[in-house]
Amino acid sequence: MEFAVDGLTCGHCVQTVEKAVSFLEGVESASVELVPGGRSRLLVGGRADEAAVREAVTAAGYTFAGS
């Protein structure tokens, strides 16, 4: 799955999102392509529930593009 995420500005933000998503059931990998001040790309591998991914990213303090 691929998501566009707003609000990531640094490596710490990337680590926070990757860690939050990695703990979800079914996630095999989570990586962020950082675009500081823009829309970063979150790539999630495995069979994770999309709603759970969205909830984890939101709980970490970030928003999805267009949200």
Q: For residue range 48-61, list pLDDT tens digits in order.
A: 899 999 999 999 99
C-alpha separations of 57 from 40, 50 in Å: 12, 11
Give the count of beta carbons closer than 10 Å to the beta carbon of residue 9.
Answer: 13
Q: Which domains occur in the chain, in start order?
A: 2-64 (3.30.70.100)
pTM for the full predicted model: 0.91
Q: What does the pLDDT average to over 43-49?
A: 95
Average pLDDT, the chain: 94
The structure tokens listed for 4 are: 């566009």
Handedness of CA 18, 24, 29, 33 (dihedral sign): negative
**Above 90 in pLDDT, residue 1?**
yes
HSE-CB of 67 using CA atoms within 13 angstroms: 15
